[in-house]
Amino acid sequence: MKRTGRWQDWAILILGAWLFLSPFILGYAPLAAAAWNAYLVGAVVVILAATSLWVPSFAMDEEWANLMLGLWLVAAPFVLGFYSADSLAAWNQIVVGVLIAGDAGWAVASRSSAKQTQA
């Protein structure tokens, strides 16, 4: 059964697509570590969000995975060493990571409080 999804699912899908395209749009595609991180994490975020939109039972797993991916994006510029090489790439990934983690955390909290209300 197809579902339209919650706004959080659509927001994460858009953020994942932006992340995947950002090396081209912002011009940091030649910076290997930053670009590959954006491609890989962006693709995974898009796949998870799209799956969550079409398979309602997958939503909670997707939200926890996106929370972890968002936190990784915040740490990645420092762990992968591209913070000093390209601050635009670094700040893009940090900001997108905060937005993804925040959105996913909000969705997890909303689902948890809804389950507690039903109990």
> Where are the chain's structural domains?
13-114
User: DSSP secondary structure string, the chain?
Assistant: ------HHHHHHHHHHHHHHHHHHHHT-TTSHHHHHHHHHHHHHHHHHHHHHHH-GGGHHHHHHHHHHHHHHHHHHHHHTT-TTT-HHHHHHHHHHHHHHHHHHHHHHHHHHHHHHHH-
Say what the pLDDT of residue 40 is.
98
Residue 38 confidence (pLDDT):
98
Q: Is the pLDDT of residue 33 over 90?
A: yes
Contact 12, 46 (CB under 8 A): no
Q: What is residue 1's predicted lDDT score, i.e. its pLDDT?
A: 37
Among the listed residues 106, 87, 95, 34, the one whose alpha carbon sits nearest the alpha carbon of residue 70:
95
Phi, psi for 58 (deg, rounded to 5): -85, -10
Q: Average model confidence (pLDDT) for the chain?
A: 88
The residue with tokens 């997707």 is: 62
> Over the stretch 58-115, which tens digit does the pLDDT of each residue have?
667 788 999 999 999 999 999 999 988 889 999 999 999 999 999 999 888 877 665 5
User: What pLDDT shows up at residue 115?
Assistant: 58
* More reliable by pLDDT, 89 or 2: 89
Q: What is the structure's pLDDT at 62?
A: 85
What are 70's two structure tokens? 């968002």
> Given this model, what pLDDT does residue 116 score?
59
State yes or no: pLDDT of 12 exceeds 70. yes
Q: Per-residue pLDDT averaged across 21-43, rounded?
A: 95
Over residues 30-58, the mean pLDDT reads: 91
